[in-house]
Structure 1
Amino acid sequence: MKSAGCSIKGCFMKDQLRILVVDDNPDDRALAIRELQRDFSNLRIDQITDATNFALALEADGCDLVITDYQLRWSDGLAVLRAIKNRWPDCTVIMFTGTGSEEVAVEAMKAGLDDYVLKASKHYARLPGAVRLALERKAQWRALKEAESRYLALFNDVLIGLWKTTPEGKIIDANPAMVQTLGYPDCDSLLRVNANDLYVDPGDRKRWQLLIGRDDAVRRYETRMRRRDCSVIWVEENIRAVRDAESRVLYFEGSVEDITERLNLEAQLRQSQKMESIGQLAAGVAHDFNNILTIVKGHTDLLLAKSSVLPELQEPLKKISAAADRAANLTRQLLTFSRRQIIQQRPLDLKEVISNVASMLERTLGEDIVLNFDLARQLPAIYADASMVEQIVINLAVNARDAMPRGGQLIVRTAAADIDAQYVQQNAEARVGQFVCLSITDTGLGMEAQVLSRIFDPFFTTKEVGKGTGLGLATVYGITKLHRGWIEVSSKVGAGTVFRIFLPTTSKQVEPATMKSTEKDVRGGSETILVVEDEAELRLMARQILECYGYRVLEGATGAEALKLWPQHAQEIDLLLTDMVMPEGITGWELAGKLRTEKPDLKVICTSGYSVDLAKMNFDAPQGIRFLQKPFKPQSLALAVRECLDA
């Protein structure tokens, strides 16, 4: 087992970081270590090259992080992952490989993999970023566990509910904390209630009485209780039987702890972890995948636009274009539900957004379903991405349609909602403030509690194979969270379902609606455009599209090349079209900033398949800068350029 250490400026960790690199290819190990050394100082890297060294490493003290290849001469990455998690359950593991597959990635994520990075020359530079993110998540997790420990220690020092009850349910005594937990004004009021009536399911009390065995105790029994105001709380009971000399039960004494908030937080944490794991996988491939789709989609649509294309080729080309659209939509949904999609927000009138999709909803639902709208006339504005809000409405409408196979009624409502502290206590994800509520009500089949608890899980579906991806409601969840809102769902088998989406309001004014050019009637121009894109094929395609519309095009493969071109052509360049993620240390955003410093009126369009920086800032860009999501159609690029130039 070899060891290497290094130190560079700017390392964000004071303590030594110990990393195991499990890879039997010396060249790959050297490249990985070189990239790590560029970003981290005070490293200790142990290189694992065979089974013997790996066994020795497992016997040693723990490490901070493991980077493993998948294909090893003596094992495989999944076996390494399982061995590491078995030895050090909390250890962060990243699979850095060029031989894996989507199936391997999914299996590894299930086994506890923290990230999956493709091993290719242009991906080596991404390894330190993946390591940094993985370690940050680990630190956050540790902080959460420490916070939970502090909370438990504090809670144990505070009196919790204590009471005594007879086997028949008569309450003999209760302490003030118990009275407060159940919401009664005083102890006497609670003593007049039979304990059996406090349980949502009276059978729960009978069940724990049966569970009391030789030790005369039941511990950590979770059940639901009804407070005086009829609200329901989850509690954890610890009960002990007190017997007489003949072993007959005199009474039960025990503690009652309200665990409603804890269960809600645990459910939120589990959901967040699911989204985080799948989101990491989606984000890892989205950038390159969308570049490829842009090339496929662009060249296909360019061919379809030509009158010289043979008739027998038109239908296959249309199918290729449609398939590229479906692939792009799948990637977009993966990024959206995992909250890594870029959003372009502006003040919106929710009523206007719904009106824009009304006709589409009618076509989607069909003739068997009656569609009704109950839209408030005057609503506060929301600060949101219009296309994403439309996606919420469409996805919920499609979900409702599938729940009404024999027809029914769908009601779309909007209303202002003033959320107070009392409401927040009853709804874990709610918060105090002014919101707009969008509700979608159907008269469909409804859902059982077991199904209802999983509806926002990625890929979960009750439909037969081939009838759904399981991403529709997960996408709704992701969009809502991106907009700092929350979702409430109520459903009853045979009585339908109600989805309520709460979105925060804004004081910003809604801009008057303007007529926008369509892709069919977009005009070209004679302006000069600087195209900066490191993918050669994508750069060539962009040039061809823009020249077809009459523009003069200058191009650069990197930000550095663009900066070299700029002094000679600064006066003639009207617009910068740049990718966000590029090599040589200059991003598209940084390039735009440098050029606009010299020429403030320079128009800019940023493109990306996925960018961490863009996702974090939600692209609330200055005037004159726009974003175009990859993959895009030739007409979409032409329209974006024209609108940006004319703005």
Structure 2
Amino acid sequence: MPDYHEFTKRIQFSNKIYGLFSASIPVTLVKDPLEQELFVRIAEDLGQALYKLETEKQKKEAQRQFKVLFESAHDAIFIMDEQKFIDCNPVTLKIFGCQKKEDIVGKSPWQFSPELQPDGTLSIEAARQKIEKALKGTPQTFYWVHCKKDGQLFDAEVTLNRVELNNQWYLQAIVRDVSERMNALRKIEASEKKFRSIFNNVTDAIIIHDLRMNIEEVNEFAEDLFAKQRSEIIKYSFDQLLGWDEIKRNKFRQSMNRAGHFFLEWQLKTDQEPEKFIEIKSKIIDYEGKQKILTIIRDITERKKLEEQFFQAQKMESIGKLAGGVAHDFNNILTVIRGYSDLLLPKFAEDAKITKKLEQIKLAAERGSKLTNQLLVFSRKHVFKNEIINLNQVLLELKEMFVRLLGEDIRLEMELDPNLKNIMADRTQLEQVVTNLAINARDAMPEGGVLKLTTSVKFVEPKDTEGLFSLIPGEYVQLKVSDTGCGMTEEVKKCIFEPFFTTKERGKGTGLGLSTVYGVVKQYNGDIFVDSKLDKGTTFTIYLPVYETDQIDSKVTKRQEKEILQKIEGTVLLVEDDSIVRKLISTLIKSHGLKIIEAENGLHGLELFKKYKEKINLVLTDVVMPEMNGRQLYEEIIKIKPDAKVIFMSGYTDSVLDKHGILEKGLRLLQKPFSNEQLILEIQSVLYGS
């Protein structure tokens, strides 16, 4: 019996060992190379066969699992061959609104897409490009707008990848409906856009910063306010941006820690001129899940200017009332001084020394009268002799005088609007206004310069009254008086219209020049503004309302001079609450032959009139009195005697007299302080009509 040899070989394929192949071979065959090679090939074939069996099993399992996933997936799954759908899962039918697979199989992806995608590309071209890349082995994931069978659009997230089925490569498309997610994103984007729109279009600066004052976000108005780009602003800390010192910084922190909010008005120093006033409001908020500070900054520069103008106007009004009251009382005193001077002069006509002294007293009273007139002009309590005036004509008539007034070193320029409209004004007072401004300009240019007078017509719109807040909308004549002089500081500008304020040396100015200008302009419902900078000159701008034909032309008419009669007969009821003035007037009236009945106030005067109405030929009454004023007395008197003759006296005028109804046509007014001659002529005129 032959001997056998045990031969062993590993069964493997593709580096995977499946087992050992063993055989007993006769020894005579072991040395035969062909037998050995046959034995190796049998082992290899066994390995390859086992590998194929295993691979087929794996494929079948994979296909089984794929089918399970394919059928049970929550997303739509397409299988594509080339560019056509060859299969789809049940969810696909639901998502695309189809009843059966035949509605999808055989069609292309772009048949379930709108013509254009949201970015404007053609759906067919974009789909082909992505399919081509996926078939080459590069998976594609992207957002896509699909449409259902009925044409309804929906948002989708699409994944394309290559798969092998039955030993053939196909394209798998997984489509997930993300409409809800995209709608939520759109709402967030819309909300963000709305927030950004409000954030950037609000007319206040908005700054968001953390508790350490590091700036994180600013809006566009903040860039305008600070004159810096956002990228530059966020480099600053909040306190640095505002220029705060340690005290302000600590106050801010304490307020935020204690109350959670902060408020401050602050003068912001920027590279721009002039400096700005701002209002700062800060509050702790929840921003992106963290505690931040929201600060809103409002530019209140214009509001501050208006407040300053308003307070200045109130101050000037208060000073005006005070000046008017002082002038009224002073006029009573001057009436007495002037009256007794007139009474004493004839008695001491032969004594030159006494006469000279009395004339000096009278002259001082007349100078005092001019001073009170200026105070009355400032306080807008002066009677003007109004007429229709063209400002150009007034300026041209003053031109020659201005040339002499200004001197050789100052050049006078005029730029007059040829179509300038008329105004209603007192020519004398208007000339005084322009002259005072010219003198003021001359004194500001000791080394010479240019004085320019400009006229124009300006229509003040309602929106313009924000800067010209004292003017009502309408048409105005505008006069600009500009010089190239030394200018003035902000502190001086605030006080220039106050009476007795002057920057000139002692004895070289009364301080009433510009206050007179102010009073005249205000009396005509106009306004005056000043713009001045040190070493750059000054411009005064005056607005006077254009004359309307239905306005009253004049409040006062000038009477011709008359001769005083030697003796006047009649009885005068004198009503005056100031005893000194009453005594003077009584003495003066008696000296001309008239009989006098004295009353210390309106009620007393009415009582005496009722008692002596048949004897009284004339009532001479003060206007402003306690309990019953002159107008009220007059109304009661004409009820008793309709043809009663009345003369009013007052140290007040215009607005005060308008208030008391004295400036009506036909009523006679004697302005204090008056001379004895003026008083007697007025009485004579009323009694005798001459």
- TM-score bucket (shorter structure): 0.5 to 0.7
| Correspondence for 1:523 among 563, 587, 590 | 563
The corresponding residue for 1:267 is 308
| Cα 1:425–1:469 shift into 2, 3 Å | same
Contact 2:460–2:474 (Cα < 8 Å) also in 1: yes
| Correspondence for 1:221 among 253, 266, 269 | 266
C-alpha separation in 1, matches of 2:269 and 2:424: 39
How far residue 410 of structure 1 moved from its aligned partner, in angstroms, is: 3.7
C-alpha separation in 1, matches of 2:402 and 2:588: 34
Look up the SS of the partner of 2:335 in the other structure. helix
TM-score, length of structure 1 as denominator length: 0.56
| Cα 1:615–1:580 shift into 2, 3 Å | closer
Look up the SS of the partner of 1:455 in the other structure. coil
Look up the SS of the partner of 1:474 in the other structure. helix
Q: Does 2:621 align with 1:578?
A: yes
Any residues of structure 2 matched to 1:326-475 within 5 Å, and which?
326-339=367-380, 341-344=381-384, 346=386, 348-351=388-391, 376=417, 379-384=420-425, 388-475=429-516
The corresponding residue for 1:630 is 672
Q: Does 2:627 align with 1:588?
A: no
The corresponding residue for 2:606 is 560
Any residues of structure 2 matched to 1:59-458 within 5 Å, and which?
160-163=204-207, 173-175=217-219, 207-208=243-244, 213=249, 220-223=265-268, 234-237=277-280, 254-275=295-316, 278-279=319-320, 281-282=322-323, 285-301=326-342, 303=344, 308-339=349-380, 341-344=381-384, 346=386, 348-351=388-391, 376=417, 379-384=420-425, 388-458=429-499
Contact 1:343–1:615 (Cα < 8 Å) also in 2: no
C-alpha separation in 2, matches of 1:312 and 1:511: 48
How far residue 314 of structure 1 moved from its aligned partner, in angstroms, is: 4.3
Contact 1:172–1:191 (Cα < 8 Å) also in 2: no
C-alpha separation in 2, matches of 1:619 and 1:460: 34
More deviation in 610-619 or 587-596?
610-619
How far residue 342 of structure 1 moved from its aligned partner, in angstroms, is: 4.5
Look up the SS of the partner of 2:613 in the other structure. helix
Look up the SS of the partner of 1:440 in the other structure. strand
How far does the alpha carbon of each residue in 1:214-257 deviate from its partner, in whole angstroms, 9 at most, with x for none? 68879543237799xx999643356899xxxxxxxxx9974321
How far residue 501 of structure 1 moved from its aligned partner, in angstroms, is: 1.6
Contact 2:623–2:630 (Cα < 8 Å) also in 1: yes
How far does the alpha carbon of each residue in 1:519-571 deviate from its partner, in whole angstroms, 9 at most, with x for none? xx5434668684524345534644676688x795654334236514663146x
C-alpha separation in 2, matches of 1:514 and 1:586: 25
How far residue 454 of structure 1 moved from its aligned partner, in angstroms, is: 2.7
| Cα 1:264–1:390 shift into 2, 3 Å | same
| Correspondence for 1:605 among 640, 647, 657 | 647
More deviation in 623-632 or 377-386?
377-386
| Cα 1:439–1:532 shift into 2, 3 Å | farther
Contact 2:471–2:525 (Cα < 8 Å) also in 1: no
C-alpha separation in 2, matches of 1:286 and 1:488: 26
C-alpha separation in 2, matches of 1:418 and 1:412: 19
Aligned partner letter, 1:323: A
Aligned partner letter, 2:490: A
Q: Does 2:659 align with 1:617?
A: yes
How far does the alpha carbon of each residue in 1:584-627 deviate from its partner, in whole angstroms, 9 at most, with x for none? x4322222233445666666432122489825628672211143
| Cα 1:597–1:514 shift into 2, 3 Å | closer
Look up the SS of the partner of 1:264 in the other structure. helix
How far residue 361 of structure 1 moved from its aligned partner, in angstroms, is: 6.0
Contact 1:224–1:232 (Cα < 8 Å) also in 2: yes
C-alpha separation in 2, matches of 1:536 and 1:467: 38
Aligned partner letter, 2:673: P
How far residue 173 of structure 1 moved from its aligned partner, in angstroms, is: 5.0
How far residue 628 of structure 1 moved from its aligned partner, in angstroms, is: 3.0
C-alpha separation in 1, matches of 2:420 and 2:684: 33
C-alpha separation in 2, matches of 1:375 and 1:529: 57
How far does the alpha carbon of each residue in 1:100-120 deviate from its partner, in whole angstroms, 9 at most, with x for none? xxxxxxxxxxxxxxxxxxxxx
Aligned partner letter, 1:591: L
Aligned partner letter, 1:161: A
The corresponding residue for 1:3 is none
The corresponding residue for 2:538 is 497
Aligned partner letter, 1:298: G
TM-score, length of structure 2 as denominator length: 0.53
Contact 1:369–1:408 (Cα < 8 Å) also in 2: yes
How far does the alpha carbon of each residue in 1:360-411 deviate from its partner, in whole angstroms, 9 at most, with x for none? 7677656765556555556544455555545433432332232233455444
How far residue 440 of structure 1 moved from its aligned partner, in angstroms, is: 2.5
Contact 1:580–1:611 (Cα < 8 Å) also in 2: no
- Percent identity (aligned): 36
| Cα 1:590–1:162 shift into 2, 3 Å | same
| Cα 1:305–1:234 shift into 2, 3 Å | farther
How far does the alpha carbon of each residue in 1:320-377 deviate from its partner, in whole angstroms, 9 at most, with x for none? 22322333344444454445x2445745425366678778767765676555655555
Look up the SS of the partner of 2:458 in the other structure. strand
Structure 1 stretches lacking a partner, 5+ long: 1-157, 184-188, 197-203, 242-250
| Cα 1:626–1:442 shift into 2, 3 Å | farther
| Cα 1:606–1:366 shift into 2, 3 Å | farther
Look up the SS of the partner of 1:274 in the other structure. helix
Look up the SS of the partner of 1:326 in the other structure. helix
How far residue 296 of structure 1 moved from its aligned partner, in angstroms, is: 0.6
C-alpha separation in 1, matches of 2:278 and 2:299: 4
| Cα 1:566–1:240 shift into 2, 3 Å | same
Work out which structure has the larger RCO, using CA pairs closer than 8 Å and 6 or more positions apart in sequence.
1
Contact 2:646–2:668 (Cα < 8 Å) also in 1: yes
Q: How many residues align?
A: 457
More deviation in 258-267 or 383-392?
383-392
Aligned partner letter, 1:222: Q
C-alpha separation in 1, matches of 2:424 and 2:440: 25
Aligned partner letter, 2:205: G
